[in-house]
């Protein structure tokens, strides 16, 4: 939304008085006095009138190593949530950029920047989600070929996007998928009557789970924001 509209709304004044505020140099946008209110305001822009902050929100990006048993939710009556592992006062602002099932371990990203989380998770962005998978049987050539081509999920009438498979053992592989459908990896293997017995997310695009981040631990990181999203700070 335009800066002058927001200032008018937040201060509770009409168009003429808002214009006067701008002309008198009483409005600052990201620290600079602005005489005109035509600029578009983003979620993380700082807006002040007479030194009083009307909007100031710090973008937060958190990487967490989810242990088994913890749920990818912000609230849950029964189980520990990923949010409850983040013991800072701004944890409540965060949302998940892609969920993991309760017994899946590994990389979870939380942020208050919805443009970043959308980019990370929407299939159109083609960000690869990399999983270490162990199943209860042999992963045959037909499975690898089908995953590389796309697997049909009949109930939904969809075909998964071509995935990458690196066989590590007869029953273990590194699988890269470019979407995040509900229980996607389990359902892909289930098509071949294979049950996933262990699932761990290692990476999302170039964001890798650091080796020194123990289960349940988290840290902030600076994302490489694609240029088309622009800087949000």
Ramachandran sector of residue 202 (left: φ over 0; alpha: ψ -120 to 50; beta: rest): alpha
Instruction: Single out the residue of 55, 108, 82, 88 nearest to residue 232, CA to CA.
Output: 55
Interface residue with ligand URA, options 18, 104, 117, 121 (CB under 6 A): 104
**DSSP E strand boundaries for the chain:** 27-29, 32-33, 47-49, 52-55, 61-66, 95-96, 105-111, 129-135, 152-153, 158-159, 164-169, 172-177, 196-204, 207-208, 218-220
Residue 37, token pair as written in the block: 């209110």
Output the six-digit token pair for 78.
Answer: 């029964």
Q: Does 71 bind ligand URA (CB under 6 A)?
A: no
Measured from the CB atom, is 95 or 183 closer to ligand URA?
183
Q: Catalytic annotation on 136?
A: no
* Contact criterion met (CB below 8 Å) for 232 and 88: no
Select the residue interacting with ligand URA from 101, 134, 179, 202 (CB under 6 A).
Answer: 101
Residue carrying structure tokens 């123990």: 214
| Residue 199 binds to ligand URA (criterion: CB under 6 A) | yes
Shortest gap between Cβ of 95 and ligand URA (angstroms)? 17
Taking the complex as a whole, the smallest distance from the CB of residue 153 to ligand URA amounts, in Å, to: 12
Q: In whole angstroms, how close is the CB of 184 to ligand URA at the nearest point?
A: 4
- H or E element, residue 60: none
Residue 169, both tokens: 């053992």
Q: How far is the CB of 74 from ligand URA (least distance, A)?
A: 17
Per annotation, catalytic residue among 4, 76, 101, 211: 101
185 binds ligand URA (CB under 6 A): yes
Give 2 or 126: the residue with its C-beta nearer to ligand URA. Answer: 126
CB atoms within 10 A of CB 56: 11
Give the per-residue contact string, 122-161, with ligand URA (x = CB under 6 A; - = no). Answer: ----------------------------------------
Window of 33-41, 115-123, 179-187, 214-222 that interacts with ligand URA by CB under 6 A: 179-187
Choosing from 184, 194, 209, 218, the residue that interacts with ligand URA (CB under 6 A) is 184
Q: Of 94 and 188, which has the nearer Cβ to ligand URA?
A: 188
The catalytic residues are 101
């Amino acid at each position: 939304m335009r800066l002058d509209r927001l200032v008018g709304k937040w201060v509770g004044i009409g168009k003429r008085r808002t214009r006067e505020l701008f002309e008198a140099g009483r409005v600052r946008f990201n620290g600079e006095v602005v005489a005109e209110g035509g600029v578009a305001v983003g979620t993380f822009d700082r807006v002040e009138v007479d030194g009083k902050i009307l909007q100031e929100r710090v973008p937060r990006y958190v990487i967490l190593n989810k242990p088994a048993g913890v749920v990818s939710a912000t609230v849950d009556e029964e189980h520990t949530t990923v949010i409850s592992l983040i013991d800072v006062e701004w944890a409540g602002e965060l949302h998940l950029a892609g969920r993991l099932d309760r017994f899946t371990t590994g990389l979870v990203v939380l942020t208050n920047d919805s443009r970043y989380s959308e980019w990370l998770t929407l299939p159109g962005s083609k960000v690869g989600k990399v999983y270490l998978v162990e199943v209860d049987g042999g992963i045959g050539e037909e499975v690898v070929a089908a995953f590389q081509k796309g697997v049909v999920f009949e109930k939904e009438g969809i075909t998964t996007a071509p995935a990458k498979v690196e066989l590590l053992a007869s029953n273990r592989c590194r699988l890269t998928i470019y979407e995040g459908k509900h229980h996607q990896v389990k359902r892909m293997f289930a098509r071949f009557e294979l049950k996933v017995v262990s699932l761990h997310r290692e990476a999302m695009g170039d964001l890798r789970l650091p080796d020194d981040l123990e289960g349940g631990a988290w840290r902030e990181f600076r994302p490489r924001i694609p240029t088309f999203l622009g800087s949000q700070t």
